[in-house]
Amino acid sequence: MSVLDEKLQDVYDELLRRNPGEREFHQAAHEVLDSLGPVIAKHPQYVDAAIIPRLCEPERQIIFRVPWVDDRGDVQINRGFRVEFNSALGPYKGGLRFHPSVNLGIVKFLGFEQIFKNSLTGLPIGGGKGGSDFDPKGRSDHEIMRFCQSFMTELYRHIGEYTDVPAGDIGVGGREIGYLFGQYKRITNRYESGVLTGKGLTWGGSQVRTEATGYGTVFFVDEILKTRGESLDGKTAVVSGSGNVAIYAIEKLQRLGAVVVACSDSTGYVHDEKGIDLDLLKEIKEGRRARISAYAEERAGADYVEGRSIWNVPCDIALPCATQNELNGTDATALVRNGCSVVAEGANMPCTPEAVRRFSEAGIAFAPGKAANAGGVATSALEMQQNASRDSWSFDYTERRLADIMRKIHDRCLATADEYGQPGNYLAGANIAGFTQVADAMLALGVI
């Protein structure tokens, strides 16, 4: 990792001392602090008011037991988390992740990133994140319902449309949101639609919410290419993952003329030179919930590669859309060697610091997740607007709002990078633009 400004190094050292063993949180914090040297030089009031140390300490961290009964009648115990990181701009907003890897450090890394991502949208939402080490894979609908009801029985007392508004994330889709909202409604005796986002379209959900993160990432890439006088038409792309974000990134890439030649899951990847058959991919992953290898079995000319890196497949555009730290320095070197020109993070922090450094050295345009994948939370905030006004917007209108928000995020990152002497550096622009808006709000609210 690079050497930080002296004042920021002290903050980072204290963060390491207070949060031992939380590697992902350390990585996310270092990435942001690494961009802020010029900011504190220009705005010493941020140092005087201890804005950065306060920003690095969550306002509230909640850990709770989640007992539930499986289909065999056995009692299971999981752990639930909600980290309410910063509410200077509005109620805490961020997803719930159900996955065996979830621990406090993971949730804090995600919540810290969420502060700046939400700030960049320009919408009045703060940053938070939550989840559980519960694994929904292989569980029946009844088991998932019982788990969600137990989880919400504790979480409900900490959330609300003016306090904290969770959404979905890995392992939490429309089914889980439905069970969670049902239990919240049952306990509170209130139909408080704005307390959760990602709801079904028939009971308060927003059009485009399912597609938003993937679509938004592609909109951001399209804006990058426009600055070069280029478009997505005819470009080859590789997208890691085959979940919600990846599928809808592939869909929007194809609609804008790109050819997506590879996608993956946790077992391996498929390479299809003719272009991914999106209908087949959706049927396998969303319908059957099968492994990606089934795609190659049913698609003539497609190859399945097990246990190797998808980033060895040549492409113009790379979208890591799976999970944190999936793309390392070796992978970045392969992308550079094969002529990739744009990398945009559809997932949260999928590129390691070494990978980001290699992209920078090679002159590849790199869009960090806090900017490139902000479409999901932006559309969640649009869902909150509709719930507050008891309204429902069309797909086309909501998609236009999403595209406009992503364009503004892109332009803001680029303008901020220019302002601080780092033209074209989307990472620095995103970190600084996201930080300064939150910092100014914290100054205005006093020491709280």
The counts of H helices and E strands in the chain are: 18, 12
Give the 3-state secondary structure percentages of the chain, helix then strand then coil, rounded to 5. Answer: 50, 15, 35
Would you list the DSSP string of 290-357? --THHHHHHSTT-EEEESS-GGGS--SEEEE-S-TT-B-HHHHHHHHHTT--EEE-SSSS-B-HHHHH
How many CA atoms within 13 Å lie on the side-chain side of 412?
Answer: 23
**Annotated binding residue 425:** no
Q: Which residue has the tokens 């290898």?
A: 293
Active site residue 129: yes
**Annotated binding residue 183:** no
**Annotated binding residue 213:** yes
The answer for residues whose C-beta is within 8 angstroms of residue 391's C-beta and 6 or more apart is 385
**Annotated binding residue 93:** yes
**Contact predicate 145/118, CB 8 Å:** no
The answer for residues whose C-beta is within 8 angstroms of residue 392's C-beta and 6 or more apart is 207, 386
Buried b vs exposed e over 131-143: b needs ≥16 C-beta within 10 Å?
Answer: bbbbebeebeeeb
**Annotated binding residue 168:** yes
What letter does residue 160 receive in the DSSP assignment? B
**Contact predicate 86/32, CB 8 Å:** no
Catalytic residue selected from 129, 199, 285, 370 = 129
**Annotated binding residue 431:** no
- Kindly state the tokens that stand for 269: 């990847």
Interhelix angle 395-419/212-227, nearest 10 degrees: 50
**Annotated binding residue 244:** yes
Q: Which residue has the tokens 């919408």?
A: 123
**Contact predicate 398/378, CB 8 Å:** no
Which residues belong to the annotated binding site for NAD(+)?
213, 244
Which residues belong to the annotated binding site for substrate?
93, 114, 117, 168, 380
Which residues belong to the annotated binding site?
93, 114, 117, 168, 213, 244, 380
Active-site residue set: 129
